[in-house]
Amino acid sequence: MPKKKEKKIDLNNLTPEEKLKLEIAEEIGVYDKVIAGGWRVLTAKESGRIGGLMTRRKREEQKENR
């Protein structure tokens, strides 16, 4: 079974969600790891932490906009 081709992170064309994801990665100290190897190099724990923080921020943003 062929491996999936890793998509490089294009820092010039990021969606708002991707920007948030990278911002959180920087906060938890895995930014360099992500830039060097892509999102696939993260452990499940690191990925879960990023996802959890993204969810929390989105909820807080929704509460502020009400």
Question: Tell me, what's the pLDDT at 5?
Answer: 61
Lowest-pLDDT range, 3-7, 36-40, 57-61, 62-66?
Answer: 3-7
Confidence (pTM): 0.82
Quickly list H helices, 1-66: 16-28, 31-37, 44-64
- Rounded to whole angstroms, how far apart are CA atoms 59 and 2? 38
The torsion angles phi and psi of 64, rounded to 5 degrees, stand at: -70, -30
C-alpha dihedral sign at 61, 62, 63, 66: positive
